[in-house]
Chains A and B, each alone.
Chain A
Amino acid sequence: MPGPVSLTKGRRPPGKPDTRRRLVVIGNGMAGARAVEEILARGGAEQFTITMFGDEPYGNYNRIMLSHVLSGEESDADIFLNSLHWYQDNNITLHAGVRVERIDRFTKYVFANNGHVVPYDVLIIATGSQSFMPPMDGLYTPSGSIKPGVFTFRTIDDTRNMVEHAQYEDHYRAVVIGGGLLGLEAARGLQSHGIEVDVVHSGAHLMNAQMGPDGGAILRRSVEALGIRVHTGSRTTAVLGADRVTGVRLRDRPDIACDMVVVAAGIRPNVDLAVLSGLHVERATVVDDQLRVVDEDSIYAVGECVQHRGEVYGLVAPLWEQAAVLADHVTGADTTAAYLGSRTATKLKVAGVEVASMGLTGPERETDEHIVFSEPSRGVFKSIVIRDNKMVGATLLGDSRKVAYLTQAFDKGLPLPEERISLMFDLGGPAEEQGVAELSDDAQVCNCNGVSKKSLVDVVRGGCNTVAGAMDATRAGKGCGSCKLLVKQVVEWAADGSVEEDPAASYYVPGIPLDKASLMAAIRKQGLRSVSAVFAALAPGSAEDAKSKMGLASLMKMMLADQYIDERDARFINDRVHANIQRDGTFSVVPQMKGGVTSVQQLRRIADVAEKHNIPLIKLTGGQRIDLLGVPKEDLPQVWADLDMPSGYAYGKSFRTVKTCVGKDFCRYGTGDSTKLGIEIESQFQGIEAPAKLKLAVSGCPRNCAESLVKDVGVVAVEGGRWEIYVGGAAGAHIRKGDLLASVDDPEKVKVLTGRFMQYYRENANWLERTYSFVPRVGIDHIRAVVVDDAQGLAAGLDAAMQASVDSYVDPWTERDDPLTPGQFRTSLPLTVLPQVPVR
């Protein structure tokens, strides 16, 4: 073990007096170091010279992870929060392995056991807790030290010693005293070293502080299933063995033989220093709402050694809150900050079993509602106590997916849903509902733009309390969009229920305050035929909104077909030039290749065009087409002219491709002519606008070579001449297997249902809502009723509207000969950064 270490660095050169105040921190655990971090974050380095004393000869580590170190899941190097370098880099003088023995609060000095006497202007006590040793015989050797083979489970040294002891070859049995969180963790950890473990618990059931008897019984089953023997309601009266542990004696049961004993019977605040120094100590050092020790102006205390409003906390969450308030006061950053106590909820994985607990474990009054779900065979137990429609307690065992929501409801006293069962289960809700609270701060929420949970939380703390606002500020959810739900949950969680309803959330396009149905009704009623007319008639102040144009253009084209008055500026660049803009500002051109089928002539011509125009990259796309990439904007008309083929719709929010497999003519397995059907579908619906892109596929047999199950509409030929139609699949940013819409026996019916489904989607989906969101939102049963069974009598109308759109189709590539606007194909390159005016 390393001896005491003292690090000192960054002293000012002699001759320049240091006018900073002296901050001394006693305790280098999670609370002490966190308090210093918070102080540094508030500019504390300018105000203070900082000296820290730590009893343990290490930097600061995460005590919560010790059970992982014990079980071997993490090495002890992994759990350090601040390395010794952190102290050097922040000019903190660290005395590691040095214990402070006394505080002279009148002369303002601390006295350490290595002879150091350090003066302070501000003192922070963060001495934490130690393991509680319940009274029993034989714990100590005659010389007064703890008997070899008896361990507590509190520090990194405890853990290392336990691992070392457990790995002796002749050691194979351990008794853990205490069946709480820590005891069960210790038991599970020891098991991973091949040790047989008994847990002796004096309470009537395991974890009696956190849960009621029913939950405890189920936890016991789960723990026993792991091979850990449990003895509840039995107190250990003695540790047996003369010079080393040979067993334990129980009050009213036979002795248990063992080679080691782990005492995990709770923790007690370390208050010896405070008592000795004359501070106000009750159960722990008493502090006020500013974390200041009672009657002391320059002494603060934080963490587990603190008693605030009668409460002593043994969890980290209150500690973080305390550290922030303390730092606000010590640095003067916010002298009105106050710590008002924490409502604690524990959520842990105990011995491999998920456990979450908060508040009451059972009903106390006659009017209390108690909702219990118990499934012992699966080790699942859920109990919620409700008083006056507020949640006052919850226990979740084996399944803590709803814990994020419940914690919030408990903390904030949120009103609860009428249907109480939804407190316990996600009824048809998305699986991502789980666990926002337990995401770590640096967890990446939006993978496209690299937005962490913390940056979202910071934005919310900074006063932004709408989901859309937080998304704008961080760019979260602005990439592929697959994280939007999670972003929403994080924002709601961070705003602690005070998230404001964003009225624009229900608008079809942001610039016009109407949802889709009302917007369509208004357009029809007022006979509007162009995007600018819609803005003039419906937008507040008739203001045109660039972000709304594309959605409106698509919607109106869908609604009005050939009645629509096309306005070029209502389109996105892709739609304006009918090519796909790339990151360097060039475009890609995709010749149409229906169903992925091409010909010698087409291939030859594509090759010629690629050669003539020096196309830098020719790529086969995922949709079975050839992509000519890197075409400058001004060359687009010429490329098209040379190709003289229709566009393949690689751009725009519209129907794109129908991927097909080889089909029955060539494939040994094919049962249906998938290629033919795919080509027919693609020909029929080419260029159809939709709220988002539509990608289809037709497979000739259930082997699904065209991946039909993960398409917006996927068709699979099955034995017996039948075709199955799946809708709402996805295999991009989202993965979803499509839902079976119908099974039909005629390719013509496939086309009718495909068109009808697409029209229903076009009329009812939100702007940019892919079918994989739309189908689960509306429900496949409802879609089937409307599209297949025509339960609402809409089918004829849907078919007619789709036919009108099909009939009004014009090949947009013909614009190459007659640009609609003078600048349509004028270069906007180079897209280089222009010289900037120097910032002064």
Chain B
Amino acid sequence: MITKNLFLQGVFPFEGAGLEKPVPIHRELAHFVPDGIINQTLYFRGGNSTSELITAVLMRDGAPMRYFPIGAKSDVHVPLRVVEDIEGGSVIEVFLLAADGVTGYVVIDLGMVEH
């Protein structure tokens, strides 16, 4: 089986738009799974520079798939132990939930494998 590793990652400034509404962080944090390929997300790593709780949301085709809360001025590393197949033709994105008006930087590193 020939697999390829993929990452959505970077450090991005953000401004909170409310804790109920996931919003895109940056257009780089999106990935279209090609036809005939299976994608699996393996881990999430995140950092939060603000003094408020924020939550990164892994979206599949516009619907939330996983939530990763990150504490104030804190970080998380989540190795995913339930790994599902994401079919070709799907879009994977990382969105953010943060309280209104909160501004700061978020560090995102989402690891995936495709085969």
Complex contact B81–A280 (CB within 8 A): yes
Complex contact B38–A266 (CB within 8 A): yes
Complex contact A134–B87 (CB within 8 A): yes
Nearest opposing residue in chain A for B37, CB measure: A203
Q: Choose the segment among A309-317, A600-608, A628-636 that binds chain B (4+ C-beta atoms closer than 8 Å).
A: A309-317
Nearest opposing residue in chain B for A393, CB measure: B2
Q: A235-B89, A282-B42 are in contact. Are A202 and B3 (CB under 8 A)?
A: no
Q: What residues of chain B lie closer than 8 Å to A344, measured between beta carbons?
A: 1-2
Complex contact B1–A282 (CB within 8 A): no
Question: What separation, in Å, do the CA atoms of A315 and B3 have in the docked complex?
Answer: 13
Indicate whether A208 reaches chain B with its CB closer than 8 angstroms: yes
Q: Mark A202-220, 1 if CB is under 8 A from B, else 0.
A: 1110001110000000000
Indicate whether A838 reaches chain B with its CB closer than 8 angstroms: no
Interface residues of A in 187-225 (CB under 8 A from B): 201-204, 208-210
Complex contact B35–A204 (CB within 8 A): yes
Complex contact A283–B2 (CB within 8 A): no
Complex contact A313–B1 (CB within 8 A): yes
Q: What residues of chain B lie closer than 8 Å to A72, measured between beta carbons?
A: none
Contact partner of A282 (CB less than 8 A), chosen from B35, B83, B88, is: B83
Total number of B residues with any Cβ neighbor in A under 8 Å: 21
Question: What separation, in Å, do the CA atoms of A283 and B86 have in the docked complex?
Answer: 13
Q: What residues of chain A lie closer than 8 Å to B80, measured between beta carbons?
A: 282
Complex contact B85–A132 (CB within 8 A): yes
Q: What residues of chain A lie closer than 8 Å to B42, measured between beta carbons?
A: 282-283, 310
Q: What residues of chain A lie closer than 8 Å to B87, measured between beta carbons?
A: 134-135
Contact partner of A209 (CB less than 8 A), chosen from B40, B83, B115, is: B115
Nearest opposing residue in chain B for A129, CB measure: B1
Indicate whether A43 reaches chain B with its CB closer than 8 angstroms: no
Q: What residues of chain B lie closer than 8 Å to A280, measured between beta carbons?
A: 81
Q: What residues of chain A lie closer than 8 Å to B3, measured between beta carbons?
A: 311-312
Indicate whether A404 reaches chain B with its CB closer than 8 angstroms: no
Complex contact A210–B2 (CB within 8 A): yes
Indicate whether A281 reaches chain B with its CB closer than 8 angstroms: yes
Indicate whether A793 reaches chain B with its CB closer than 8 angstroms: no
Total number of A residues with any Cβ neighbor in B under 8 Å: 26
Q: Tell me the minimal C-beta distance from B104 to chain A in angstroms.
A: 31
Q: Mark A695-734, 1 if CB is under 8 A from B, else 0.
A: 0000000000000000000000000000000000000000
Q: A282-B81, A313-B1 are in contact. Are A201 and B36 (CB under 8 A)?
A: yes
Complex contact B35–A233 (CB within 8 A): yes
Complex contact A209–B113 (CB within 8 A): no
Contact partner of B1 (CB less than 8 A), chosen from A208, A209, A310, is: A209
Interface residues of B in 35-56 (CB under 8 A from A): 35-38, 40, 42
Interface residues of B in 69-115 (CB under 8 A from A): 79-81, 83, 85, 87-89, 113, 115
Q: Mark B17-38, 1 if CB is under 8 A from A, else 0.
A: 0000000000000000011111
Nearest opposing residue in chain B for A134, CB measure: B87
Nearest opposing residue in chain B for A284, CB measure: B83
Complex contact B2–A209 (CB within 8 A): yes
Question: What separation, in Å, do the CA atoms of A312 and B35 have in the docked complex?
Answer: 21
Complex contact A283–B35 (CB within 8 A): no
Complex contact B83–A283 (CB within 8 A): yes
Question: What separation, in Å, do the CA atoms of A135 and B61 have in the docked complex?
Answer: 16
Question: What separation, in Å, do the CA atoms of A282 and B113 have in the docked complex?
Answer: 12
Question: What separation, in Å, do the CA atoms of A88 and B113 have in the docked complex?
Answer: 43
Question: What separation, in Å, do the CA atoms of A201 and B80 have in the docked complex?
Answer: 29
Nearest opposing residue in chain B for A358, CB measure: B2
Q: Tell me the minimal C-beta distance from B101 to chain A in angstroms.
A: 38
Complex contact B1–A312 (CB within 8 A): yes
Q: Tell me the minimal C-beta distance from A296 to chain B in angstroms.
A: 15
Q: Tell me the minimal C-beta distance from A595 to chain B in angstroms.
A: 65
Contact partner of A283 (CB less than 8 A), chosen from B34, B40, B88, B89, is: B40
Complex contact A283–B36 (CB within 8 A): no
Contact partner of B113 (CB less than 8 A), chosen from A281, A310, A313, is: A310
Question: What separation, in Å, do the CA atoms of A283 and B40 have in the docked complex?
Answer: 8
Q: What residues of chain B lie closer than 8 Å to A281, measured between beta carbons?
A: 81
Q: Mark A251-295, 1 if CB is under 8 A from B, else 0.
A: 000000000000000101000000000001111000000000000
Binding site for B on A (CB under 8 A): 132, 134-135, 201-204, 208-210, 233, 235, 266, 268, 280-283, 310-315, 344, 357
Q: List 19 A-B contacts (CB under 8 A).
A: A135-B87, A202-B88, A203-B35, A204-B36, A233-B36, A235-B35, A235-B88, A235-B89, A268-B85, A280-B81, A282-B79, A282-B81, A282-B83, A283-B40, A283-B42, A283-B83, A283-B113, A310-B113, A344-B1
